[in-house]
Structure 1
Amino acid sequence: MRRFLAIVTALVLTTGFVTSGPARAESLSDAMVSAYKNSGLLEQQRALLRAEDENVAIAVSALRPVISYSATAGRTISDPVGGGLLGAPTDRFNASINLQAQLLLFDFGQTDQKIAIARESVMMAREMLVGVEQNVLLNAVQAYLNVLSAQESVALQGSSVRLITQELRAARDRFEVGEITQTDVSLAEARLAAARSAEAAAQGDLMVQREAYKAAVGRFPGNLAPPPSPPRVPDTLDAAKAQARARHPDILSAKRAVSSAEMSIELAKLSTRPTVSASATATRTFRPAATEARSLQGGVTLSGPIYSGGRLTALYRQAVAQAEAQRAGLLVTTQGIDQQVGNAWAQLAIATASLQATDRQIRASQVALRGAREEATLGARTTLDVLNAEQELLDARSSAISARYDQYGAIYRLLAAMGLLTADHLNLGIVSYDPEAYYNAVQDAPLRRVSPQGQKLEHILETLGK
């Protein structure tokens, strides 16, 4: 056990938990900025958003002319049986080139509706990106607080081991002079073994929290500074819920889904309308030893459904049902967010009350411990009484550590439930991802390839692969 504690302590010292120099402490903002920059989840969601942006370009392309080509070549060999009147053998080579162009002239707004639906889907994806950003930052905050809490627990358990070691030494001295029995010494030894076990558990939990910190932030924690003053939160639960309904990305995304579903109903209606398109075809045929043939054909086509076996009406009814489902989903999402806000508010109230109670418990336990020690010197208390008083104080201080960081974490969970845990709202001082940059570059369906973010991600993946 001692060897294990020595190894863990050495690891703590070498990884920056205890520093002797004037190294700059890592703040909570630093941790969130690092998580924002290094999150693979954010990169994934940004790539999915860019893919959704391309659906707008795909929808817009339906309004553009479509030009295609085809080329054919063939050889025909014929050898009539018997020759004579049936003709001589022939060997002919034919080749042709076709150039075709098509353009949609009018479709009663079907394509415009598809473009509007694609844009609404882009807005949904943007809200989903905000939701992922909130989760990434909340995980970073929680990991930061967990490491600080684990560090304080390690220090507290280490102090307890040292204190009980002194108590054991004093008990042995008193046993030597006959003031107490071997039972008191054994009790102190048992309590010391339990304290060392608790210290080992605290050290192990610290190592676990370091790994969780690395997963959330992108690196192992160094010298962490105490958390700053927490952001302000609304004064009432109703005000918090009102902000959540107006700002939470899940609710905004659900509203976009309802709007998209309603547009799909209109699109299902328009699908029964005819379309008008223009087409042109240019053909050039090559025949050796013969005159080349050229042709140019063009026209306007009016087409539309007459009877489709009930498919179009089924699609309309399906769109109506999906819209109803999305409206119900919006209600469910809103209720879920209200519950999250209420839970976070309750957790904050519980942590605040617990912190106040543990402060009073610590003060009372300190007084009780001093009294138990003084009475033990007079023979009015046993060694077990002193050890129990020390354990009461240790438990109170441990509870205070948990309550303090629970209170801080509850504030950030409340912000996340309100939809405010974003880099911009927290003023992290970092250039945040601009979802409109890529959209503006591709919304008009350019012919060039535009994906600098994708190229950057590929470079990172290649580096990791090496």
Structure 2
Amino acid sequence: MGPRVWLLAGAALVATPAASPAWGEDLRSALIAAYNTNPTLQAARANQRATDEDVAIQKAPGRPSITGQATHTEFVRQSGNNFTAPDRNLNAQLSLSVPIYSGGSVRNGVKAAETRVEAGQADLRGTESSVFSQVVGAYMDVILNEAVVGLNRNNVQVLEVNLQATSDRFEIGDLTRTDVAQSQSRLALARGDARTAEANLVEARERYIRLVGLTPGLLDAPPPLPGLPASPDEAVTVAIDNNPNLVAAHERRKAAGYDVKVAGSGRLPTLSAFGQGAYNDYYGTLGGSLGGVQTFAQNETTAQVGLRASIPIFQGGRPAAQRRQAQAREGAAMEQEIEVERGVIAQVRSAYSSWQASNEIIASTQSAVDAAGLSLEGVRAENSVGNRTIIDILDAEQELLRARVQLVTARRNAYVAGFSLLAAMGQAEAQDLGLEGGPLYDPETNYKRVRGKWFDWDDDRAPKPQSTRTVDTPPQDGEIRGSEATTIQSTNTSAPGGQ
């Protein structure tokens, strides 16, 4: 079972933005909304369409060209010795040029452009994966911060009850004012921590809106992540073949090789066929009559055809400099490919390590939560018989809160690290995640549409924004939606190699 099945089910993906419920959504619906309306992803698609046009641009110099020109001339002052000079003239010319051989510049330029289209499509995959990773992080951050808000509010309530009990015991002389002051201090700090948690929740929700374009409602716990690798070596092997950034770097290196050939073609001969026709009309004003009879035609038509060869002999060293420059850039592209490969390997190994570490932290922190809970019960019991002080109870409550926050944080980190690992392996895109409930954006469709276009006036319609604005979304607050404070505690990732 691959990672593509983990989000199948639920609402179908649509090609245009659709209304989504304001309350109650899952991770799949958030990813679909981002896929259709995120401005970063929409801009990347538009830039890729611009890259597609480079193929047609590079093909143009190898195609026939036709040029027309018309000139009307008024001869306002003539030489007194020129008896045939006309008063006015209309000249129209039509020229046709057909390239036959260009030294390989057109052929290699087209290959370079086609290769850069493939690189751009890989970049688009990388952008899609990056946006999805950010959406997953934002989704989990909302759940995490809601859980933290809930834990802190619960802690405030516990400390309020504790302060009231401490005050009652102080009134009967069972405790001292110091005990009351300690309880008041912890309660004040807890309220401050709760307010900070609420502010963090607002920030997380606003980031979610920025990425997804919708207000987060009652977020469901995300599904487990299947298809995670059993070892870092397995992850690296998959990433070397599939990571979009590495694929793009490889294609750019190939394109740089074609650029070297294009630069070298400047030293080679070129051959083209040409044809030209001209029409002149003197409007009956051309002089030179004999006995009242015009001796010159008042209009004429001419035509020529031929072959034109251009043989560079000396260009001041420019072609060699251009080729050396292209070779240097090819060398830079080679080094950049290795740099990207290094980065991918480091990213995959780091993500794998973070994912494993987070899973181990979950196990150890769960033990800490269980132990802290037992410790708090014991301290309270011992306090009731006079063996523990109020500060011991406060410390035990603080320890339990800290362990619970660390647990929900570890669960969030494990999920995000697991998804980041899939992204680095090139397995976190729309097709991988099962978002094919409707038509997905296919960059190849536009490329096939434009690569063979010839007509000079074959324009597209004026572009319109595809992403949605968020100016109408309400400002977020620190309130939690239902029982999200506990949903993250049931979230887990699969074990290594899990299905």
| TM-score, scaled relative to structure 1 | 0.89
Structure 1 residue aligned with 2:221: 226
- Equivalent position to 1:207, from 155, 179, 202: 202
Superposed, which structure 2 residues align to 1:289-308 within 5 Å? Answer: 289=284, 290=286, 291-308=298-315
SS at match of 2:303: strand
Residues 141 and 204 of structure 2 are in contact (CA less than 8 Å); yes or no, is this contact kept in structure 1?
A: yes
- Equivalent position to 2:380, from 342, 366, 373: 373
Residues 256 and 329 of structure 2 are in contact (CA less than 8 Å); yes or no, is this contact kept in structure 1?
A: yes
How far has the Cα of 1:89 moved from its partner?
A: 12
Superposed, which structure 2 residues align to 1:34-433 within 5 Å? Answer: 34-78=33-77, 92-289=87-284, 290=286, 291-430=298-437, 431-433=439-441
Whole-Å Cα distance in 2 between the matches of residues 88 and 429 of structure 1?
Answer: 82
How many residues get paired? 437
> Which amino acid counterpart does residue 409 of structure 1 have in structure 2?
V
5+ residue gaps in structure 1?
Answer: 1-21
Whole-Å Cα distance in 1 between the matches of residues 194 and 184 of structure 2?
Answer: 15
Question: Residue by residue, what CA displacement relative to the aligned partner does 1:5-40 show, whole Å, maximum 9, x if unpaired?
Answer: xxxxxxxxxxxxxxxxx9962101111111111111
Question: Residue by residue, what CA displacement relative to the aligned partner does 1:74-107 show, whole Å, maximum 9, x if unpaired?
Answer: 1112266xx8xx6899871111111111110123
Whole-Å Cα distance in 2 between the matches of residues 435 and 445 of structure 1?
Answer: 17
> Which amino acid counterpart does residue 436 of structure 1 have in structure 2?
E
Residues 284 and 295 of structure 1 are in contact (CA less than 8 Å); yes or no, is this contact kept in structure 2?
A: yes
Whole-Å Cα distance in 2 between the matches of residues 151 and 451 of structure 1?
Answer: 47
Whole-Å Cα distance in 2 between the matches of residues 89 and 95 of structure 1?
Answer: 16
Residues 77 and 91 of structure 1 are in contact (CA less than 8 Å); yes or no, is this contact kept in structure 2?
A: no
> Which amino acid counterpart does residue 40 of structure 1 have in structure 2?
P
Cα 1:152–1:319 change in 2 (3 A) is same
> Which amino acid counterpart does residue 100 of structure 1 have in structure 2?
S
Whole-Å Cα distance in 1 between the matches of residues 124 and 334 of structure 2?
Answer: 22
Whole-Å Cα distance in 1 between the matches of residues 467 and 204 of structure 2?
Answer: 30
Structure 1 residue aligned with 2:31: 32
Question: Residue by residue, what CA displacement relative to the aligned partner does 1:97-137 show, whole Å, maximum 9, x if unpaired?
Answer: 11111110123433111111110111111111111111111
> Which amino acid counterpart does residue 311 of structure 2 have in structure 1?
G
Residues 250 and 337 of structure 2 are in contact (CA less than 8 Å); yes or no, is this contact kept in structure 1?
A: yes
Structure 1 residue aligned with 2:12: none
How far has the Cα of 1:450 moved from its partner?
A: 5.4
SS at match of 1:425: coil
Residues 78 and 90 of structure 1 are in contact (CA less than 8 Å); yes or no, is this contact kept in structure 2?
A: no
5+ residue gaps in structure 2?
Answer: 1-20, 287-297, 473-499
Whole-Å Cα distance in 2 between the matches of residues 87 and 275 of structure 1?
Answer: 43
**Which gives a bigger RCO, structure 1 or 2 (Cα 8 Å, sep 6+)?**
2
Whole-Å Cα distance in 2 between the matches of residues 279 and 427 of structure 1?
Answer: 56
CA RMSD between the two structures: 2.2
Whole-Å Cα distance in 2 between the matches of residues 402 and 266 of structure 1?
Answer: 55
Residues 128 and 253 of structure 1 are in contact (CA less than 8 Å); yes or no, is this contact kept in structure 2?
A: yes
Whole-Å Cα distance in 1 between the matches of residues 85 and 304 of structure 2?
Answer: 31
How far has the Cα of 1:395 moved from its partner?
A: 0.4
Residues 37 and 467 of structure 2 are in contact (CA less than 8 Å); yes or no, is this contact kept in structure 1?
A: no
Whole-Å Cα distance in 1 between the matches of residues 267 and 188 of structure 2?
Answer: 81
Residues 77 and 89 of structure 1 are in contact (CA less than 8 Å); yes or no, is this contact kept in structure 2?
A: no
> Which amino acid counterpart does residue 442 of structure 1 have in structure 2?
V
Cα 1:77–1:266 change in 2 (3 A) is closer
Whole-Å Cα distance in 2 between the matches of residues 276 and 398 of structure 1?
Answer: 75
Residues 103 and 277 of structure 1 are in contact (CA less than 8 Å); yes or no, is this contact kept in structure 2?
A: yes
> Which amino acid counterpart does residue 458 of structure 2 have in structure 1?
R
